[in-house]
Amino acid sequence: MARVLLTAEAEIGRRVVEVVESSFRGLIRLDVVAADLGDVKARAYNKARGQIRADLLLDLLRPVRGWDRYVYVVEGDGYVPGLNFVFGVAHGHKAVVFTERLRSAVELFEMRLAKEIVHELGHTFGLGHCADPRCVMYFSNTVRDTDLKGPGFCEACFAKLTRAFSEI
């Protein structure tokens, strides 16, 4: 079982944790801590765009020892060069998810947030994007794409995930 630390500026409801953990079918345990990421966000903020450069922020975030993977939930809007916005990014054992474009009614926001956390965590375990629009690893070009896909992995992606865990 992999230990995942979720560091969040936004309040993370129990439902989000349950959806994320159940999507991984017992392969992870999620620990949640609240944090103020304002100082590090400021260093990655692009004033001209009014957005946070996601890849730079991910490089600046320093993981704490003791966990296998790290996800940072950041209040704000992110982008990477070449894209107008991103819901999140992942590299190595770290991922970041931005809240700005996921915001809606509480229940819908929590499900969107859970899906994006699962998606970015999937990348940290080596999964790429999936062609199945119902799979959580499907690339979300819009928030509607996120709403339409499930919080779980398709059979093919879960098989890849299981193989990745056998190598941890």
Active site residue 120: yes
The torsion angles phi and psi of 132, rounded to 5 degrees, stand at: -80, 115
Contact 55, 88 (CB under 8 A): no
| Residues contacting 67, CB < 8 A, separation 6+ | 3, 4, 5, 31
Tokens representing 149 are: 């896909």
Query: In the numeric block, which tokens belong to residue 131?
Result: 């062609």
Name the active-site residue from 11, 107, 120, 167: 120
The Cβ-side half-sphere exposure at 115, using a 13 Å CA radius, reads 25
Cβ contact 126:160 at 8 Å: yes
Q: What angle do CA 161, 60, 68 make, to 5 degrees?
A: 30
**Burial class of 21 by CB neighbour count within 10 A (0 to 12, 13 to 18, 19+):** middle
Catalytic residue set: 120
